[in-house]
Amino acid sequence: MALRFEILKADKNSGARLGRCHTAHGVFHTPAFIPVGTQATVKSMTPEELRKMGAEIILSNTYHLYLRPGHERIRRLGKLHHFMHWNYPLLTDSGGFQVFSLNSLVKVSPEGVQFQSHLDGSRHFISPEMAVEIQEALGADIIMCLDECTAYPASHEEAGRSLELTLHWSRRCKNAHRSPDQALFGIVQGGIYPDLRKKSVEVLAEIGFDGYAIGGVAVGESKEMMSRVVAETAPLLPADRPRYLMGVGTPADILAAVQQGLDMFDCVLPTRNARNGNLFTHSGKIVIKNAKYAEDSLPIELGCSCYTCRHYSRAYIRHLFLAEEILAFRLNTIHNLHFYLKMMSNLRQATAEDRLPGFIQDFNSRWEFGDEKAAGGEQLISSPRSDQI
């Protein structure tokens, strides 16, 4: 089997579980946050830096790598791990999400999806079999089935038709899947409709995958609706396989989903916010360009052990950010990713010590910004994966 999932502990007070995922390139611990490395690099970071701050698995986007530099090229260059100098667990999505979110001229048929490149307008066609083939060329440890991310809002009928397509494609992906070192995950769709989500889980489980993802959330629906879909869907997922909530989210989103039994999360929020100068602290957001930080000699967060906070003041980072210096993006990314990854390891520790509810309560009570608007009109909420350009 390409993936072995050990559940080390089930939380007494919630659906949370503590786990260990063994892949062809080593182990990652769950619940896991997966930094996004869209174009074969987690923006501004080296692999060594990522490991140092506790990243055990990262994600790259098939759509982007298929277009540039090309999956066959990456295969010839020794596959993605070697290409990008990341010799640890690696996940690629199927490319489906970006096909739909980054393109206007998309034609979907049972055969697959036709689209134009956002880079040069060139025409491309991807079938479920090709999505698997491309991901085999890239060689990630975990690969995803091609799915249609159901839009929001969608009627029950539309969501149902879309789900049928995803299930059809999932069967074909499973049949096309050959590489013994790659785990294949199915993606649960069905929009906001409990019956469709249930059906989706049932059919996917029947086909049989190495893991199951919840897709089609954080696509424009309300927070409450997203929580409801996750809460209703998660318990239906096979308990002995890793459960992956795609493209989510804020710290609060992740903490809530962990309690529903989700094991894996990816999101551009920490890295993208870093580049926008929106920095995570336990007591609220810092918009580093604000004038009040101009002579602030404190670190981004007092007591934070990241490289940035150990050596630099808010005043210096603000200066770098306003001067558009590359080091600003680096220092901010280090801090935000450290914040997320440290939160995950603290969360795992709390679960191990039977104090998860207290940990989450404490985290949320210190947290102030929630859905507050950040600088530039960006919301510090779950960001759809469409931001990965």
The C-alpha atoms of residue 152 and residue 159 are separated, in whole angstroms, by 9
Of the residues 120, 253, 266, 387, which is catalytic? Answer: 266
Q: Which is nearer to a second copy, 35 or 186 (CB)?
A: 35
Q: Which is nearer to a second copy, 76 or 107 (CB)?
A: 76
Q: Provide, rounded to whole angstroms, the least separation between the CB of residue 78 and a second copy.
A: 7
Q: Which is nearer to a second copy, 97 or 329 (CB)?
A: 329
Q: Provide, rounded to whole angstroms, the least separation between the CB of residue 40 and a second copy.
A: 7
Of the residues 93, 147, 253, 263, which is catalytic? Answer: 93
Q: Provide, rounded to whole angstroms, the least separation between the CB of residue 64 and a second copy.
A: 8
Q: How many CA atoms lie within 13 A of 297 on its CB side?
A: 0
C-alpha 186 chain-centroid distance? 15
Q: Is 266 annotated as catalytic? A: yes
Instruction: Enumerate binding residues for a second copy (CB under 8 A).
Output: 39-41, 43-46, 68-69, 73, 76-78, 83-85, 294-295, 297, 307, 311-313, 315-316, 318-320, 322-323, 325-327, 329-330
CA-based end-to-end distance of the chain: 33
Q: Provide, rounded to whole angstroms, the least separation between the CB of residue 89 and a second copy.
A: 19
Long-range contacts made by residues 282-286, C-beta under 8 angstroms, separation at least 24?
A: 282/363, 282/366, 282/367, 283/366, 283/367, 283/368, 284/367, 284/368, 284/369, 285/368, 285/369, 285/372, 285/374, 285/380, 286/314
Q: Provide, rounded to whole angstroms, the least separation between the CB of residue 356 and a second copy.
A: 36
- One-letter amino acid of 160: G
Q: Which is nearer to a second copy, 72 or 353 (CB)?
A: 72
Q: Which is nearer to a second copy, 295 or 354 (CB)?
A: 295
**Contact partners, residue 202, CB within 8 Å, separation at least 6:** 236
Q: How many CA atoms lie within 13 A of 271 on its CB side?
A: 22
According to the 3-state scheme, what is the secondary structure of 58-77?
EEECHHHHHHCCCHHHHHHC
What stretches of 163-263 adopt beta strand conformation (E)? 183-188, 211-214, 243-245
**Contact partners, residue 356, CB within 8 Å, separation at least 6:** 11, 13, 14, 16, 258, 259, 347, 350
Q: Which is nearer to a second copy, 83 or 209 (CB)?
A: 83
Q: Provide, rounded to whole angstroms, the least separation between the CB of residue 57 and a second copy.
A: 19
Contact 37, 84 (CB under 8 A): yes
What residues act catalytically?
93, 266
